Amino acid sequence: MIYLTDEHGERLAAIVPADVAAEIEAAEDADDIRAAEAALAEPGEPVPAEELWAELGL
């Protein structure tokens, strides 16, 4: 593994083997799926995207 650092030695990024990156991506995808399933299981009515955007001023 190779780390890219700033002038103070603070790690900013890393170059990792492709198989390690794939494992990290798979774990993140699994976390996202679990979070989406949990959100869908919450009680309440769905909110249309346009309503949410308006509320957020987008």
Using pLDDT thresholds of 50, 70 and 90, give the confidence band for residue 54: very high
Rounded distance, CA 27 to CA 12, Å? 21
CA atoms of 28 and 24, how far apart (whole Å): 6
Mean pLDDT (whole number) for 43-51: 93
Percentage with pLDDT > 70 across the chain: 100
For the segment 14-40, the average pLDDT, to the nearest whole number, is: 96
What average pLDDT is seen over the chain?
96
The sign one gets for the Cα dihedral 23, 19, 22, 20 is: positive
* Average pLDDT estimate for 5-27: 97
d(CA 24, CA 3): 17
CA 22 to chain CA mean position, Å: 14
20 Cβ contact list (under 8 Å, min separation 6): 1
